[in-house]
Structure 1
Amino acid sequence: MRARTLTTTFALAAVLATAACGESGSSGNGGGGSSGGQASGDACAPIADDQLVVMEDDKELQAVDNIIPALETAYAEANPTAMDALNTVSAVLTTDDLVGLNAAVDVERKSVTDAAAAYVDDNDLGSGVTGSGAVTVGAASFTESQILANVYAGALNNAGFTATVQTVGQREAYLPALQAGQFQVFPEYVGTVAEYLDGNPDEAVVSGDLDASVETLRGLGTPAGLTFGEPAEAEDSNAFAITVALQEQLGGITTMSELAEACSDGSLVLGATPECPTRPFCQIGLEDVYGFRFASLGDYDLGAATNQALIQGQISMAQVLSTDPILAQ
């Protein structure tokens, strides 16, 4: 994921307190923390700013979680052009696009259907593909999934299918329903669905390598009766952001490696979910893979609480989701 600069406001952060999507931590009040070691300087002490920048994960600490169409295999085999239509979405959908779509719904208060329809029309999705017949696209019960399902449905409709969207719930409910053919299409996430299908929490089957992870996913999908299309550039994964003011103080750095080197004095204050200290993609990985040393770790729910703490200068670096609406430029 490349570095992305963004502008936000305290008012936007307040809106996101009720609108932010994604799983949250267990406490939510922030301010708590555990020491990561004694700081010997202040090179990376927090600096308040309403402009933030996401650091590039140049060592691929985060497992990929790109958007990918999932189809019930019997339907995919009987209707091959349905996958062709869905792959037109993957061909253009970027992380910045997904940030903008989430912001259109959660911040600008557009309807899911209107935001999705505008994106389908703007990108002429599904054009040049010919298909027919009824098809149901499933959606989970959060904004981003519902947007993606409606984008998929729009592309299918443009290709000649008659597509409808059905909200199904969480993965434990919708994946068995997809496998059973209760609906035929679902917008999935490469890493998350691969780990779910693998079912072994003690050993990761995906990594920061997208091609290898998609190959693994397709191998897991075959016995499960699922067929996966092409992945989009867009992904919804964990990321880490700092303020532009701190970035400028550190000479315009853009990568996590550069940030770790610049903050080697141990002055960086991390704001993240309460689970961060025990997660390999969070504090453990940041220390082992990048060599970060932290002055302290503040506990926050993922989303509005962490974002606002960064804006207000309570923390130096925040754990964020790469498609959080607050990242809309």
Structure 2
Amino acid sequence: MRRTIQGGRGKAFRVALVAVAVTALAACGEEGSSSDEGAAAPAASATGSAPAAGTGSCEPVAGDELVVLDDDQKLQTVDNIIPAITAKSATEPLVTALDKVSAVLTTDDLVALNRRVVVDRETSPNVAEDYVAEKGLAQGLSGGSGKVVVGAANFAENQTIAEIYALTLDAAGFDASTRTIGNREVYLPALTKGQVQVVPEYVGTLTEFLNKQENGANAPAQASSDLDATVTALTRLGESAGLAFGEASEAADQNAFAVTKAFADEHSVSTLSELAAACGSGLVLAGPPECPERPFCQPGLEETYGLSFESFTPLDAGGPLTQAALKQGRASLGLVFSSDGALSAG
């Protein structure tokens, strides 16, 4: 599967590249996704070692469009969106309504929602209202009563999902409202104390945040590339914190790696495994300066996929510098984010 990216927006180097004891780097400090500190080591191939690199030469190929290569060997820790709920508020009508959102929300949907808010400058409430109507989320729900406050982190993606949650809860009979609170260190205590009742969360990031909070900064990771196992760990950790959870959605906001469409077409690649099979030399990797030392960036690509790089170009994390380097033919492969509003389904 490939996803086309038309442009870019700056983000913190969040997913699988920073400690989850903080929600993001100081440069942004707001968006939540998974981490590599203390996380499980990248998986090897089924034979117990990384596959051999290909023999072809794969120098950068300039192009106006970028495509995301599928992480088919599951290098990255999962970071699917999941509703986090104050345990005392997790009634059947409330959980049923939130699960209805999770059942339809996809990564492509997330990309489209982010594009409308971040790129097209529409408001989160208006975009959420359109999405609820389009997906029929207000139909067939009942049984709710009382006020529910849906908290949100201070970035557009989370705010839009919070608005979708609130509209769906309204349809179930609740009197729902939204409140943007701040980063995880601020909104999570509000959630556990019941000052807000629901927050859209990220499976891998929250698992490791709670893990380190409960077991210490050096605790072995409980989040991984296995969604079911990570949700099981999250549920167990959440119980100690007074939290319950709905179903995880298919929608995820995590690290991804892109090439130009021209490069993908020339080498007939749509996955990172296909890239490794096709390319034995010439690859130039672009990303944030930390990438060569982070297990879910360059070392993970080398160990899990057997990729070999001619060089690394230190730029930014999924932002305009990395995207420009790819489009201008100065890099073959670059770090992007799976829910970036500049991406389009493809």
Which one of 289, 294, 297 corresponds to residue 309 of structure 2?
294
Residue of structure 1 aligned with 2:293, choices 275, 278, 286: 278
Cα deviations across residues 11-66 of structure 1 (Å, max 9, x unaligned)?
x44xx3xxx44447789xxxxxxxxxxxx998221111112211111111001000
Of Structure 1 and Structure 2, which has the larger fraction of its residues in helix? 1
Q: 2: distance between equivalents of 1:80 and 1:215?
A: 20
SS of aligned partner of 1:100? helix
Paired letter, 1:321: F
Q: Equivalent residue of 2:285, what SS?
A: strand
- Residue 240 of structure 2 corresponds to 223
Code of the residue aligned with 2:97 in structure 1: it is: A
Name the residue aligned to 2:35.
Answer: none
Of 335, 342, 346, 1:319 maps to 335
Give the aligned partner of residue 268 of structure 1.
283
1:127 deviation in Å? 2.4
> Distance in 1 between the 2:265 and 2:129 partners?
39
3-state secondary structure, aligned to 2:149: strand
Task: Look up the equivalent residue of 1:118 and give its one-letter code.
Answer: D
- TM score, norm. by length of structure 1: 0.88
Q: In structure 2, give the amino acid aligned to 1:188.
A: E
1:32 maps to what in 2? none
> What is the percent sequence identity of the aligned residues?
48
Residue 258 of structure 1 deviates from its aligned partner by 1.3
Which TM-score applies when normalising by structure 2? 0.83
Count of equivalent residues: 304
Q: What residue in structure 2 maps to residue 30 of structure 1? A: none
Identify unmatched segments of 5+ residues in structure 1.
28-39
Shift of 1:5: 3.4
Is the counterpart of residue 155 in structure 1 residue 165 in structure 2? no
Deviates more, 1:95-104 or 1:291-300: 291-300
Contact residue 69 and residue 258 of structure 2 kept, 8 A: yes
Question: Which residue of the partner structure matches residue 68 of structure 1?
Answer: 82
Distance 1:212 1:184, change over 3 A: same
User: Cα offset for 1:104?
Assistant: 0.3
Amino acid at match of 2:202: Y
3-state SS of paired residue (2:265): helix
Rounded Cα–Cα distance in structure 1 between residues aligned with 2:293 and 2:75:
15
* 2:269 corresponding residue in structure 1: 253
Query: Residue type of the partner of 1:100?
Result: A
2:2 is the counterpart of 1:4: yes
The answer for the alignment partner of 2:47 in structure 1 is none
Q: Write the distance in 2 (CA, Å) between the matches of 1:145 and 1:26.
A: 19
Aligned equivalent of 1:95, options 107, 110, 130: 107
Alignment deviations for residues 208-231 of structure 1 (CA, whole Å, 9 cap, x no partner): 111111111111111110001100
CA distance in 1, matches of 2:323, 2:83: 30
> Pairwise CA RMSD of aligned residues?
2.0
Distance 2:56 2:73 in 1: 25
Deviation at 1:291, TM superposition (A): 1.2
Whole-Å Cα distance in 2 between the matches of residues 26 and 292 of structure 1? 31
Equivalents in 2 of 1:305, 1:162: separation in Å? 44
Aligned pairs for 1:130-169 within 5 A: 130=142, 131-169=144-182
Structure 2 regions of 5+ residues with no counterpart?
Answer: 15-24, 28-53
Deviations 1:231-265 (A, max 9, x none): 00000010101111111121x22111111122222
Distance 2:162 2:204 in 1: 18
**Mapped partners of 2:148, 2:313: distance in 1:** 46
The 1:152/1:26 distance shift into structure 2, 3 A limit, reads closer
One-letter amino acid matched to 2:141? V
Structure 1 runs of 4+ aligned residues shifted over 6 Å read: 24-27
